[in-house]
Amino acid sequence: MDLIIKNGTIVTAEATFKGDIAVKDGKIKAIGAKLDPKGHKEATVVDAKGLLVLPGAIDGHTHLEMPFGGTISADSYEAGTRAAACGGTTTVFDFVLQDFGENLVDAVKRRDALCAPQACVDYAFHTGVKDLSGDLIESMEQSVKFGVSSFKVFMVYDFGVTDGLFYQVLRKAKEVGALIGVHAENKEIIDTLIAEFKAEGKTSAWYHYASRPEFVEGEADFRAIQWAKSLNAPLYIVHLANAQGMEEVTKARDEGYPIFAETCPQYLYFTNEVYKREDGRNFVCSPPMKGKASQDALWEGIKRGDITTIATDHCPFQSYEKDWGKDDFTKIPNGCAGIENMFPYMLSEANKGRITFNKAVELCCTNPAKLFGCAPQKGMLVPGADADIVLYDPKKEFTVSVNNMHSDYDHTIWEGVKLKGYPVATYSRGKLVYKDGEFVGKKGDGKFVKCKPVRHKTPNL
Ligand code: URP
Ligand code: ZN
Ligand code: ZN
């Protein structure tokens, strides 16, 4: 053995038990009560007494060094994956944005060339689809065979897809074993409201929310779900932030359709009140934070099992870039930081009793692996899985500050947030990459995780 983690409390999505984990060649070799380290003199033995032993988290939604909003998001692949490691996240699904006319496999290879030399933890991709004209739609199948089996369509932004293309993509995805994620908001209504607010001189960050209120997202969720239902195709609503959409997801799942939803820590912690703050522009992301009723509906959805994953939508920008929109909210690059905060925040909520630790593991580790086709390699503590392991001290008090994060951005929306418990060590394929506040891994060590085709036919994974 190379590594034996002893005396910890092992937490999986299903169970909590005292036990030891043995690791060999980057894989979990055995899990059991009192594995004997004597026969493994060469192994590093770690005493995890008093700690929880968890699978590394999977962040299913990040935008690292992505050209967007007139600039490039502030975390490079190196900085973003370094920060991920320090927050207990050992696999990052980043978004490739297809160029117009580009084959989807070429798009992935283009991003991988940038990511591979920098990655500090393992990574996979979803591809944001812009153009499937001519025979480009066939490259969806090529992409699935290449190991990227999930795509995102945007109903907003200047590269958003038409309803017709969205429908075609859903149909093709079902045929080739892919999952479609959707950014659901109504672009026409947003554009109309923005024009009206600007004409009235209403340009503060609050009007970012006011131009994208609850129903703008909810009715787009409803439409997207109707199209997926009509094809019985799986659909994944990313960054769900509103109560009406939550209701539609629940309804479709109760009817037996393979509809899945992701929400993000920022929607679970902040409300639209943040847009009234002096630094409100720093919280501008799309969809925006919503009212308390929506936040409560998301927490209820988590408890009911109708939210399948938590991910961050990590897309930070520097303060000077956010400041472009000081006097005009439409000039604020959309996106916020979160890659290092997701697992600690969800575990802290578990530690405070809002959900169980098993639920936090299900949402942040096991479900994304099952949903995106990388289980049981990722997201689980089982023999044969990659030894992506987090040691978590439930007694450690932690206050988030930009000064104790490991990204390249210069501010965080999580500044000053107090967490109960915190990760103290992260192992990526058996190798220590984070210990007691410090990144101890190496850039370039992260590997591309190729995902299998996914053929979800019911809401159960
Ligand atoms: O504001 C956000 N969410 N920026 C990143 C792009 C997206 O829509 O996911
Ligand atoms: Zn989006
Ligand atoms: Zn996003």
406 and 274 inside one domain: no
110 and 240 inside one domain: yes
Q: Is the bond preceding 287 in cis, omega lying within 30 degrees of 0? A: yes
Identify the residue whose C-alpha is closest to ligand 1 atom 5.
335
What is the average per-residue pLDDT within 212-216?
A: 97
Does residue 183 have its Cβ closer than 6 Å to ligand 1? yes
Report if residue 377 sits inside a domain: no
402 and 262 inside one domain: no
More confident residue, 23 or 35: 23
186 and 272 inside one domain: yes
Q: Chain-centre distance of CA 296, in angstroms?
A: 20
Does residue 315 have its Cβ closer than 6 Å to ligand 1? yes
Q: Burial, 100: exposed, middle or buried (Cβ in 10 Å; 0-12, 13-18, 19+)?
A: exposed
**334 CA: nearest ligand 1 atom:** 1
229 and 200 inside one domain: yes
Write down the pLDDT at residue 35. Answer: 82
Q: Is the sign of the CA dihedral 48, 49, 51, 57 positive or negative? A: positive
Does residue 73 have its Cβ closer than 6 Å to ligand 1? no
366 and 396 inside one domain: no
What is the tens place of the pLDDT at every residue in 416-454?
999 999 999 999 999 999 999 999 999 999 999 999 999
Write down the pLDDT at residue 40. Answer: 75
Residues surrounding ion ligand 3 at CB below 5 Å: 313
173 and 234 inside one domain: yes
Report if residue 131 sits inside a domain: yes
**156 CA: nearest ligand 1 atom:** 8
Is the pLDDT reported for residue 383 higher than 80? yes
- Per the CB < 8 A criterion, the answer to whether 447 and 122 are in contact is yes
What is the tens place of the pLDDT at every residue in 280-297?
999 999 999 999 999 999
Of 338, 372, 406, the residue that ends a domain is 372
What is the average per-residue pLDDT within 127-141?
A: 94
Report if residue 71 sits inside a domain: yes
Does residue 212 have its Cβ closer than 6 Å to ligand 1? no
Write down the pLDDT at residue 192. Answer: 98
Does residue 262 have its Cβ closer than 6 Å to ligand 1? no
Between CA 50 and CA 58, with CA 53 as vertex, the angle to 5 degrees is: 145
What is the average per-residue pLDDT within 304-318?
A: 98
Report if residue 446 sits inside a domain: no
What's the CA-to-centroid distance between 42 and ligand 3, angstroms?
44
Write down the pLDDT at residue 33. Answer: 87
Say how far apart CA 249 and CA 30 lie, in whole Å.
38
Give the neighbor-by-neighbor strand order of the sheet with 259-263: 57-62, 89-97, 122-128, 150-154, 179-183, 235-237, 259-263, 309-310
Does residue 335 have its Cβ closer than 6 Å to ligand 1? yes
Is the pLDDT reported for residue 309 higher than 90? yes
304 and 426 inside one domain: no
Write down the pLDDT at residue 36. Answer: 76
Report if residue 392 sits inside a domain: yes
Least distant ligand from the CA of 126: 3
Does residue 313 have its Cβ closer than 6 Å to ligand 1? yes
Q: From residue 331, how far is each of 71, 202, 208, 251, 402 by CA, in Å?
A: 11, 13, 10, 37, 24
Number of domains observed in the structure of the chain: 2
Does residue 334 have its Cβ closer than 6 Å to ligand 1? yes
Strand 3-11 relative to strand 16-24: parallel, antiparallel, unpaired? antiparallel
What is the tens place of the pLDDT at every residue in 58-102?
999 999 999 999 999 999 999 999 999 999 999 999 999 999 999
Question: 256 in the Ramachandran plot: left (φ > 0), alpha (ψ -120 to 50) or beta?
Answer: left
Name the residue of 97, 334, 339, 409 whose CB sits within 8 Å of the most ligand 1 atoms, as the mutation to test its pocket: 334
347 and 401 inside one domain: no
102 and 126 inside one domain: yes
What's the CA-to-centroid distance between 44 and ligand 3, angstroms?
39
- The CATH number covering residue 221 comes to 3.20.20.140
Provide the domain limits for residue 429: 3-54+382-439
Tokens read off for 352: 């405070």
Report if residue 185 sits inside a domain: yes
Does residue 147 have its Cβ closer than 6 Å to ligand 1? no
What is the tens place of the pLDDT at every residue in 33-49?
888 777 777 899 999 99
Write down the pLDDT at residue 244. Answer: 98
Identify the residue whose C-alpha is closest to ligand 1 atom 9.
313
Say how far apart CA 254 and CA 13 lie, in whole Å.
22
Name the residue of 72, 94, 315 whose CB sits within 8 Å of the most ligand 1 atoms, as the mutation to test its pocket: 315
Give 182's strand partners.
Answer: 153, 237
128 and 89 inside one domain: yes
Identify the residue whose C-alpha is closest to ligand 1 atom 3.
286
Mean pLDDT, the chain, as a whole number?
97
Identify the residue whose C-alpha is closest to ligand 1 atom 8.
286
> In the Cβ-directed half-sphere of 136, how many Cα atoms lie within 13 Å?
18
What is the tens place of the pLDDT at every residue in 356-377?
999 999 999 999 999 999 999 9
What's the CA-to-centroid distance between 379 and ligand 3, angstroms?
21
Does residue 288 have its Cβ closer than 6 Å to ligand 1? no
Identify the CA nearest to 11 among candidates 88, 126, 108: 88
186 and 266 inside one domain: yes
Write down the pLDDT at residue 129. Answer: 96
- The CATH number covering residue 415 comes to 2.30.40.10
Say how far apart CA 452 and CA 372 lie, in whole Å.
8
Identify the residue whose C-alpha is closest to ligand 1 atom 4.
335
Write down the pLDDT at residue 186. Answer: 98
**69 CA: nearest ligand 1 atom:** 4
What is the average per-residue pLDDT within 403-415?
A: 97
What's the CA-to-centroid distance between 33 and ligand 2, angstroms?
44
Report if residue 143 sits inside a domain: yes
What is the tens place of the pLDDT at every residue in 442-452?
999 999 999 99
- Split at pLDDT 50, 70, 90, the class of 190 is very high
**95 CA: nearest ligand 1 atom:** 9
pTM over 0.85: yes
Does residue 155 have its Cβ closer than 6 Å to ligand 1? no
Report if residue 458 sits inside a domain: no
Percent residues over pLDDT 90 in the chain: 97
Does residue 63 have its Cβ closer than 6 Å to ligand 1? yes
